Amino acid sequence: MAEGYWGNYWRRRVSRRRVLAGGTAVAAGTVGLVAVGCGDDDDDDAGDEDGPVATATSAPDATAAATEAPAATEAPAATEAPAGGPVRGGVFRDSSSDTDTGLDPHVTVTAHTAWHSSLAYSHLLHYKLSEDRAYGDLATGWEQPDNTNIIFNLRDGIRFAPMVANGRDITAEDVKFSYERFPHALENLGSEVNRLQWLFIDTVEAPDAKTAHFTLGAPYASAIPSMGSSAHAIVERGITEAAGNDLADVMNAGGGAYVMVTRNDGGVYRWERNPNYYKHIPAEGTFVEDGPYIDAKENITSSDEAALEARFLSGDADRAAFALDRFKADELEGVDGVVVYEAPGNTNSQFQMDAYKWAPHPELRRAVSLAIDREAYIDIVLAGEGIYGSPVGPGFPMVLSQEELRELQPYDPAEAKRLWDEFGGNEVFGGKLRTVTATFAPQPTVEFVSRQLEEALGITVEQTPADLANYVSLATEPSPKKWDFFMASESSLATIPDYNGLTFYVPTGYGMIFGGLDPSSEVPETAAYATESLERFNTQAAALDQEERYALLQEYQRWLITNHCCSLPLPVPSVTFLAYRERVRNLDVFDASLGNASEGFRRQQNIWLDPELT
Amino acid sequence: MQAYLIRRLLQIPIGIILLSIIVFTLTRVLPGDAGEARCGAAGNFSQECFEVARRELGLDKPKVEQYWIWLSDFVSGNPGYSSSLRADISTELWGRLSNTLQLGAMSMIMAIIIGVPIGVLSAIRAGKPEDYLARFIAILGLSVPNFWIATIVIILPATWWGTNLAPEWIKLADNPLGHFRVLALPAAIAALAAGAYIARIVRSSMLEMLHSDHVRTARAKGLFERAVVMRHVLRNSMLTLFTILGLQFSGVLAGNVIMEQIFSIPGMGAFLLKGISARDFNIVLSVSTIFAIWFMVITLVVDLMYSWVDPRIRY
């Protein structure tokens, strides 16, 4: 399945004419002139020469389920290294629009904390999404005597940074403390996120300084990938407790490859090499024997896109941290010292409903799904470079094929109208649907879907503008909510591979928080649907046999899509563009594009800077 | 004069309190608050989280009490706790105020340097090509938005020559020269519109003076044209200019919100935007109030300067 997707991806090319047509339509859509159904997919030129500038090449071939330490596999090709090999030294200069949301590595949500967690903290494992494989970081290896026990052996010579507890050794007690702290790190805020990621672990024991014994509450196929997330940073107990169990303002409390030396000095964040960092012998994954090649990393923050672009173009930043689409990528392609990479997209996009209102009306849910022309969505909203969405992100091996997704999500406005009228859509919703527009869903997306529903169903869609703060308030209010649907999209959640987009569909995740998918709902249909969905989710999560699990996950996707409750997958971009300065060598393009903020180039230690180039 | 001054000084706190009440009310009317923003940033969307955060931030108290706490803190020089900074606002506020005032002062100086000569030239060469050119430049400066000019000024040199004109922020204490070099470009861009406006005001004011009786008399006395312009026309036009400068300085401060954002200058404008996006009402209230105080003080100073510029004016 995965090979089909990646293979198709790399073979696929989109003609410039189609891209331009799509882009024009996007522009038109933003001024309210979106014309439903005007897309044309007849000219999908497979052999067009206007292809990507540079690409990574290898496909992931493993699964999320890991029951023993994996054997070495071939790493995906990174950017080409020049003769002479890696060079140590240099400062990687990033520039981003990140907002300082604190430095606690267990606050997992933002790119800002991901930066810090990836650099200043070490972890038990490093999960590489591109290879679907975990590498030992502090752990030299692990064994699973049965389905609910995992025993990690810690390597020798692992220490905290010099300013952290005088650089003492990191022991299994620290692993235990950190993993036990993680679910509670947001407790004073009543957070659900960490607890959900942690639920599968029952106890952590440290029988000796070098052994960490994890007991799972139930067999969990994605235990190892989940534990390899950068969110599971190993923190020092004394410093954490001295800070009142809040590391938001603590610059160093770990033993990562770097130590933070500057925090927000006029927007500049800087990390320098940790002299206490261990030797990773033998080198594996992105780990290098003597620690990372790059001496220091900087993140210069700016909230202005033009300033970010100017920094990158002038060589003051090594990574393009501004929005990159096909057109911008084409522009950058001609700039000296810049390398543009095209990689597969791995985004989820959902039409989220309030289950309280929609669960009792299966025909109306189906009418909504039939009213959305996904082909036109791809042509117009995604400028021709999109694929059908599924509850599982397109980068994961268990995702349904495009052919099947197309069949499962037909466009039939006449049938949609018939169902809507016959089953009293206007009576149920008063002739109008209300939505919330927020930064999570670009305006063209909301405009496009709203117009389609209006035209197909003969209703009015009322939009309530929202920013982050009132979006949260509106989206999470108890059901019945003030809105009937909203749209959300985000990159792959690499920290919890099973979950990924599924979180929007299940009662243990955003499906509950946003969609009111509550097994104890007072609405019997909502409760029944939520219960069945939860059972299916739990069944696949407990299936340790890879083939069985994939089959269950695929069946689960079919069930979710054909029930239309209470999220509908929307098409997602098929490509992602990245641009780096030429001097950045050995970049793992796959992880830089596939992984979310907690993975990718931030944790890649074998990336290096060519001193001959700018 | 003394009575006038006392009366005006007394108006300031009344104005401040009224304005802060309006801003306070508006921020509370908006959906969403700092509690929700904090939970949202942590990926937590539960009502329990909102309630805990609101309690910690004192947002569960009665509105009048919330306002009184803020006002008391503000008057004491420490305008309360910032939920987004997770620290007292004063830790950032005064440094940012200093940066904004420096940027504003530089903008105004540049605006005067640009605007006054162009206005004078345009007035004394009225109807001639120099006048048309000066007026064209002034209208251009007024009609092209600052943020667009800033974007172009940043992007084009970076694209053509690989030169970044928006370097990272440098503190005054670390490198004074570098600090003012960073401020120079945004100040110059902000000065374009202000300078254009000043040029137009100077021109119209001077044209009025040039046709007045006392100027005709001065010329009849045989004074050189330069002396007529500098001593009898320009000085008398200053009254209008002072009024405009006062308003412009306040306007530049507010207008520099965008400049600060684009050039990553840690000033009051960027602080205000941060406060708005994080629903950090203490920041919003404090920055708005400081802007208001600034505006009122500048207006008072301008009014007082009238009598200095034109001794006929008495309060």
Range of weakest confidence among A189-203, A273-287, B242-256: A189-203
Flag if A307 and B170 touch (Cβ within 8 Å).
no
What value of ipTM does the predicted structure carry? 0.74
Instruction: List Cβ<8 Å contacts ≥24 apart for A182-187.
Output: A182/A106, A182/A231, A182/A232, A185/A104, A185/A106, A185/A107, A185/A245, A186/A106, A186/A107, A186/B42, A186/B43, A186/B44
More confident residue, A115 or A69: A115
**How big, in percent rounded to 5, are the helix, strand and coil portions of chain A?**
35, 20, 45
pLDDT (mean) for A343-360 = 89
Nearest to B44 among A101, A186, A514 (CB): A186
Helix (H) or strand (E) holding B272: helix B268-277
Return the residue in A93, A104, A112, A189 with the most chain B beta carbons within 10 A, the one to mutate for interface testing: A189
A266 vs B264: CB contact, 8 Å cut-off? yes
- Burial status of residue B239 (CB atoms within 10 A of its CB: 0-12, 13-18, 19 or more): middle
- pLDDT value for A510: 80
Top-confidence range, A362-371, A472-481, A488-497, B138-147: A362-371
N-terminal to C-terminal alpha carbon distance within chain B:
5
Residue of A nearest to B55 (CA): A189
pLDDT of B31 reads 67
> With an 8 Å Cβ cutoff, are B48 and A190 in contact?
yes
Residue A557 has pLDDT above 90, yes or no: yes
Question: Average pLDDT for residues A127-132, to the nearest whole number?
Answer: 79
**pLDDT by 10s per residue, chain B, length 315:** 778 888 888 888 888 889 889 988 887 777 667 777 767 665 566 677 777 777 877 788 888 888 888 888 888 888 877 777 777 888 888 889 999 999 999 999 999 999 999 999 999 888 899 999 999 988 988 899 888 999 999 999 998 888 888 888 888 888 899 999 999 999 999 999 889 999 999 999 889 888 888 888 988 888 888 888 888 888 888 778 877 887 778 777 777 788 888 888 888 888 888 888 777 888 888 888 888 888 888 888 888 877 777 777 776
Question: Lowest mean pLDDT: which of A361-370, A444-453, B293-302?
Answer: B293-302
Structure tokens at A584: 């950045």
Supply the pLDDT for residue A347: 81
pTM above 0.90, yes or no: no
Listed in sequence order, the residues at least 6 apart from B193 whose beta carbon sits closer than 8 Å to its beta carbon are B141, B142, B146, B255
Q: Are strands A432-437 and A460-465 parallel, antiparallel or unpaired?
A: parallel
Bridge partners (DSSP) listed for residue A338: A581
pLDDT greater than 70 at residue A297: yes
Predicted pLDDT at A405: 97
Contacts with A518 (C-beta within 8 Å, 6 or more apart), sequence order = A355, A356, A479, A507, A512, A526, A527, A530
Per-residue pLDDT at A496: 54
Q: Is the pLDDT of residue A17 over 50?
A: no
Collect all residues of chain A within an 8 Å Cβ-Cβ radius of residue B261. 303-304
Nearest to A74 by CA among A97, A96, A58: A58
For residues A158 and A276, the answer to whether their CB atoms sit within 8 Å is no
pLDDT at A515 over 50: yes
Predicted confidence band of residue A123 (pLDDT cuts 50, 70, 90): very high
Q: Do B32 and A307 touch (CB under 8 A)?
A: no
Residue A59 has pLDDT above 60, yes or no: no
Q: Quick check: helix, strand or coil at residue B265? A: coil
Helix axes of B90-124 and B176-210: crossing angle, nearest 10 degrees? 40
Mutate to test the interface with B, among A91, A250, A314, A439 (most CBs of B within 10 A): A314
What is the per-residue pLDDT for A51? Answer: 31
